[in-house]
């Protein structure tokens, strides 16, 4: 008996029966065997110690592969748990996955034990011992009863609950355990051959996290960390994090006087007058561009009877993220999204094929009951407004409408200098609608993308629960990726709400629905923009575009005239009439990152001119007041970067 596999170059390889991934690597070459971390078998990532399937397509995973980082970060999560259990006997362990930029593990510490960043050096020292020992990751497949009994004996109730859930939800008969050194965890894997693959790691922060994300369950302590395949890349990552901390939009919110937060309203921003000007300017831009592209702005209710959410499917799939109340025994919910309300609005009127596409837009206020541990300033809030739009169209109009949405997005992002990439997300595990409907919806989006000749990546399983989507991503000045806009195709909601239009054949037909948001939410977009631009907003978006700085009180009247000229020109100006030196006034304006400082001294007052100073650029010369107003108006109208 022998095992045959196909290598990435198409060549076949014959191996002994029950050959493992390590055997495959060794058969190819000794160097590859030393560098191997895991193996892909027909697209599934596996440990090197596991047998490969006869006839499978295989690929050896080394440190250069995309999958390598997630692999060793998962390894590091196990090493973290091993270290914490040694340092704190009696701790209960729950879960520890790899995440986008690192890993975490959730712990239930004994009474009286509290973990903070001050404890990290001791934990990291213990982790380094496990890494240096090059402990093998050993997999063991056990019947669920034996595994459950083991964790009961070890007094690890969270692992017992996870096993019970696997039996109940998936009818699992066996589970896999992984052991490294003294530590054994319930885990499906895979892992690298040993802890030695973790070349560099660092613990970063702690947070509270409810078990299973349920606020009625135990609050656990989550320890976050990150790991890399070299010390150099770890150091680069930590340096970027320091830069990101320095650019935290919440700090800019306070220092630039834009917004703030309070425990009186968790997850909700308090916008100052200047912050509100910024927010309104962005919203007005969205409205202007939306109207120019044939959308009609609408306004729908904030609070709906639960029946709307039952029809849409949100009551079953999304209820835990909704704010729910009662009205005379009727369950009601604040809207977390506009789409069901737009469906209800569409259904209130009769539509002909001649009316389509119908394009509703609404910069509507939304509320989502995000877990407290996930809130993060404007980037993850409970109250926000989206530049939301929904298009009801015929099947034949899908390609043109999707293309128009994407083109709209590209135009918006060019204003801010964002280069965007497209990602196509397919059906998630939890979804509504049958597979035939999903096949049709996914095929329609792919046809639109391919027909436009656009490059895109595929993110399998990350679609909305009602339909596939195209997400638009940008990478900021710190190298971080952000999802901005989304275009989603939906056959489900028109079906659930029984939406119709009268076709040319005088029969009733079902429209297709396209969900479209380009800024995502105005709040999140502002947070991303502040961090990307280090708080320096383009002049057209700045709440204060120019500040007038009289040198002495003798120029007060001339300075007020400059301010009046700015405002008459439709510009946003401010006067600093404090009895401070002009140097102090300039310094304060620089800290506020105001684009233009207009110094008015005796000469400027006499000549109706201003001495212009640009933020971070210094003095640019004396200019006639009228000329400067026209220049600033031009920059504002053209939305110059």
Q: Which residues are catalytic?
A: 339, 368, 386, 388, 390, 469, 515
The SS3 of residue 151 is helix
Query: DSSP assignment of 218-245, as one string?
Result: PEEEEEEEEEESSHHHHHHHHHHHHHHH
For 92, list phi and psi in degrees, rounded to 5: -100, 135
Can you read off the two tokens belonging to residue 439?
Answer: 């096949």
The SS3 of residue 138 is strand
Q: To the nearest 5 percent, what fractions of the chain are helix, strand and coil? A: 40, 30, 35
**Rounded to an integer, what distance in angstroms lies between the CA atom of residue 412 and that of residue 639?**
11
Distances (CA, A) of 248 to 147, 194, 491: 45, 37, 40
Residue 364 · residue 338 · CB < 8 Å: yes
**Rounded to an integer, what distance in angstroms lies between the CA atom of residue 412 and that of residue 417?**
9
Can you read off the two tokens belonging to residue 412?
Answer: 């918006």
**Rounded to an integer, what distance in angstroms lies between the CA atom of residue 535 and that of residue 542?**
10
Residue 82 · residue 98 · CB < 8 Å: no
Residue indicated by tokens 């070459």: 29
Strands 2-6 and 573-575: unpaired
The number of C-alpha atoms within 13 Å of 567 and in the hemisphere containing its C-beta is 11
| Beta bridge partner(s), residue 143 | 174
Distances (CA, A) of 413 to 56, 286, 312, 518: 44, 12, 31, 9
Gyration radius of the chain over CA positions: 29
Angle CA 566–568–570, to nearest 5: 75
Tell me if the bond preceding 65 is cis, omega within 30° of 0: no
Taking the chain, what is the end-to-end CA distance rounded to the nearest angstrom?
A: 68
The SS3 of residue 157 is helix
**CA nearest neighbour of 378 among 207, 240, 531:** 531
The SS3 of residue 181 is coil
Residue indicated by tokens 């019947």: 143
The SS3 of residue 57 is strand
């Amino acid at each position: 008996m022998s095992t045959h596999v196909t290598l990435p170059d198409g060549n076949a390889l014959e191996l002994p029966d029950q050959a493992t991934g390590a055997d495959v690597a060794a058969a190819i070459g000794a160097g590859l065997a030393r560098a191997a971390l895991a193996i892909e078998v027909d697209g599934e990532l596996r440990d090197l110690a596991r047998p490969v399937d006869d006839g499978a397509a295989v690929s050896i995973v080394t440190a250069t592969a995309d999958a390598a980082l997630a692999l060793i970060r998962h390894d590091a999560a196990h090493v973290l748990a091993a270290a914490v259990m040694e340092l704190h006997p009696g701790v209960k362990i729950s879960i520890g996955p790899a995440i986008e930029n690192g890993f975490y593990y959730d712990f239930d510490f004994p009474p009286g034990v509290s973990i903070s960043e001050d404890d990290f050096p001791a934990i990291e020292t213990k982790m380094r011992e496990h890494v240096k020992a090059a402990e093998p990751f050993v997999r063991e497949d056990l019947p669920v009863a034996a595994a459950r009994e083991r964790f009961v004996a070890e007094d690890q109730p969270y692992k017992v609950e996870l096993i019970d859930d696997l039996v109940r939800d998936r009818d699992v008969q066996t589970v896999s355990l992984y052991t490294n050194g003294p530590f054994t965890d319930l885990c499906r894997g895979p892992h690298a051959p040993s802890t030695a693959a973790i070349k560099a790691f660092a613990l970063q922060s702690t947070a509270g996290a409810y078990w299973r994300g349920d606020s009625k369950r135990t609050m656990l302590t989550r320890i976050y960390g990150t790991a890399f395949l070299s010390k150099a890349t770890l150091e680069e990552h930590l340096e970027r994090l320091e830069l990101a901390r320095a650019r935290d939009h919440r700090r800019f919110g306070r220092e630039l006087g834009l917004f703030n937060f309070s425990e009186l309203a968790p997850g909700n921003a308090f916008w100052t007058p200047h912050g509100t000007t910024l927010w309104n300017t962005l919203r007005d831009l969205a409205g202007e561009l939306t109207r120019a592209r044939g959308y009609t702005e609408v306004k729908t209710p904030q609070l709906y009877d639960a029946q709307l959410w039952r029809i849409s499917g949100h009551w079953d799939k999304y209820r835990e993220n909704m704010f729910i109340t009662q009205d005379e025994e009727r369950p009601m919910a604040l809207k977390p999204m506009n789409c069901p309300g737009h469906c209800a609005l569409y259904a209130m009127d009769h539509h002909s094929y001649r009316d389509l596409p119908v394009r509703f837009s609404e910069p509507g206020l939304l509320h989502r009951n995000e877990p407290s541990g996930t809130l993060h300033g404007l980037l993850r809030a409970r109250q926000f407004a989206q530049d939301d739009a929904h298009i009801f169209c015929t099947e034949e109009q899908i390609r043109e409408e999707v293309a128009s949405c994407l083109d709209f997005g590209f135009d918006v992002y060019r204003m801010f200098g964002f280069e965007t990439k497209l990602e196509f997300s397919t059906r998630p595990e939890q979804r509504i609608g049958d597979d035939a409907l999903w096949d049709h919806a996914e095929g329609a989006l792919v046809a639109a993308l391919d027909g436009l000749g656009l490059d895109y990546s595929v993110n399998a399983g990350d679609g909305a629960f009602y339909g596939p989507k195209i997400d638009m991503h940008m990478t900021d000045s710190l190298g971080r990726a952000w999802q901005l806009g989304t275009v989603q195709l939906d056959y489900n909601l028109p079906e659930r709400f029984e939406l119709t239009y009268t076709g040319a054949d005088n029969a009733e037909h079902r429209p297709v629905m396209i969900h479209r948001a380009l800024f995502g939410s105005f709040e999140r977009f502002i947070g991303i923009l502040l961090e990307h631009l280090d708080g320096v907003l383009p002049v057209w978006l700045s709440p204060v575009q120019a500040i007038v700085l009289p040198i002495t009180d003798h120029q007060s009247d001339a300075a007020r005239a400059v301010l009046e000229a700015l405002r008459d020109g439709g510009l946003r100006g401010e006067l600093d009439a404090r009895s401070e030196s002009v140097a102090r006034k300039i310094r304060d304006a620089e800290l506020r990152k105001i684009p233009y400082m207009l110094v008015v001294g005796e000469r400027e007052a006499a000549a109706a001119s201003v001495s212009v100073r640009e933020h971070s650029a210094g003095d640019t010369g004396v200019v006639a007041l009228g000329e400067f107003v026209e220049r600033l108006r031009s920059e504002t109208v053209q939305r110059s970067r």
